[in-house]
Structure 1
């Protein structure tokens, strides 16, 4: 599982917060599925024409694992059915740029890769790996995507990518029974979150399940706090390294995050437990154990629903969600996305991009849950419950008013590499939240090296 898998985009839409306040904390239809056509496919006729590719073999690489990979495989099966091609999913490792570089150096690049970072797309273009999208895929983009999403898939004015998947990463999912047992209500501000965490932990259930073994989740914690506290202008500057990580605004955000990370009793398994917990477990342990789970809350995007589905909890009933609380004047909304890019100049690769840019493909995976599409032609009724439906509607309603996740904008060496850069610095911070200055110094040294300034 990776970020959104998302990838990881920062959306400054009031619509999301409004939808969250209205619908996220209590959705009556829970996990109710919408009517579907035969074998779970859309009842509607296909809306995109694809070429016949009998006997053609394609490989698609992504960093997705588990249910996310399984659900995407269903999309690839439909592509095979319509074209006659054979498609193999190739599991990739982080950083995906390094993984692809090895494959390309060995003369065996995948036909298409789904990149979870803007920086990875730029690197693929600079390395002359990526192929511009063809006219058929471009037509789907023009019909189905806002200008902002198309721009994210372009480099220096040329369209290279199709944003197949998006994610709202400013959500805190909670165990309804644990909240009820402790008499806690969903908080709207950071101060209220800390108070709720104190009450929950005092009741015998640690407040938060933190996936500290996966550094990308820690960047998302920081980014939500920073966006709300420092504001969008500072956020943009830090994302481009126009201000240093030693800036006072970073100090304030880390100090705020330390109010949560610094309380061992707030964390499932304490500090050591948080550092050893990978993302999937951070979710599943929050929604097992009835009203005495390992933790009452877990922070991450809409894709958390995929992991909740691996438990007995039902989204909308046992598992509820509230927007990330406001630290400053406005609640933040950080999102992410995965961009599909052709790495071979083949008819099959372009056909797959065309399919991934269509509502046909997105609706297949949307039905499975834990997936949000930026494709405005997707029927919102295909989402499996009201929570995910409202998240998707808010994403589309945002139009072009969004930014991309900060760490995904950074060079992969800083913002997307396990055991290095921002991921490692924030893991060290989780281990010792009192060392704000040391964390800042490490972040700035790594950023300066990666950005080359």
Structure 2
């Protein structure tokens, strides 16, 4: 039942994360970032950008959308992709990389520094056919089922071991007059 929704980003953010702490060369220019962030998540992203922009001279233009897949696919097909796309997982990254729509990061990031900062598993998720195309900057666990153990045990429920067990338990909880599921809507990244 584990499903990890991950965010990938490329070039500018990877460079910022992997750059030496000394005075970097001021690059200047503008980098466009396409993502789904809003609210506190977007505020945190913008707060992170300030020191990056000050150090590098790069201006980051954020474009937010709730329909990332459609907007990104349309822009790529039109030849107007963003410089950085924050993707919800490695599947779309692999698809775009294999279609030749992404620039590998191997020549612009310090591979040794990346190995120091990231576990190999995370680097593997951003790697397609032996080339690094993405850097994970955030993960969210969206496929977990949480429960109140004391209330669960007091009601006589046991932890399901299979999907069918979970479905039967859901029916039983509902038959007992309880609400078997809730959906957290405060944060999209926390609730899917």
Report the TM-score, using the length of structure 2 for normalisation: 0.70
Aligned partner (choices 138, 154, 175) of residue 165 of structure 1: 138
Residue 190 of structure 2 is aligned to residue 253 of structure 1: no
Is 2:27 the partner of 1:53?
A: yes
CA distance in 2, matches of 1:152, 1:187: 34
Residues 145, 187 of structure 1: CA spacing in aligned structure 2 closer, same or farther, 3 A cutoff?
Answer: same
How many corresponding residue pairs? 175
* Residues 80, 257 of structure 1: alpha-carbon distance in 2 compared, 3 angstrom cutoff: farther
Partner of 2:47, secondary structure, is helix
Cα pair 1:61 1:114 within 8 Å, conserved:
yes
Does structure 1 residue 195 correspond to structure 2 residue 155? yes
CA contact (8 A) 1:97 1:124 kept: no
Per-residue CA distance 1:43-76 (angstroms, 9 max, x = gap): xxx737643122x011111122111111011112
In the superposition, the TM-score normalised over structure 1's length comes to 0.33
From 72, 79, 90, give the equivalent of 1:100.
72
8 Å CA contact retained: 1:187, 1:196: no
Q: In the TM superposition, what is the alpha-carbon distance from 1:258 to its structure 2 partner? A: 4.3
The CA RMSD over aligned residues, in Å, is: 3.8
- Give the structure with the higher percent strand: 2
Stretches of structure 2 that go unaligned for 5 or more consecutive residues are 8-19
**Does 76-85 or 257-266 show the bigger shift?**
257-266
More helix by share: 1
Please give the per-residue CA displacement for 1:418-452, whole angstroms capped at 9, x wherever unaligned.
xxxxx9xxxxxxxxxxxxxxxxxxxxxxxxxxxxx
Distance change (3 Å), C-alpha of 1:49 and 1:150: farther
Which sections of structure 1, spanning at least 5 residues, go unmatched? 9-45, 174-185, 198-224, 231-249, 269-273, 284-299, 305-422, 424-453
Match 1:121 to one of 85, 93, 103: 93
Specify the alignment match of 2:6 in structure 1. 7
CA-to-aligned-CA distance 1:261-301 (integer Å, 9 cap, x gap): 67774279xxxxx6xx7721xx7xxxxxxxxxxxxxxxx98
> Structure 1 residue 229 and structure 2 residue 161: aligned?
yes
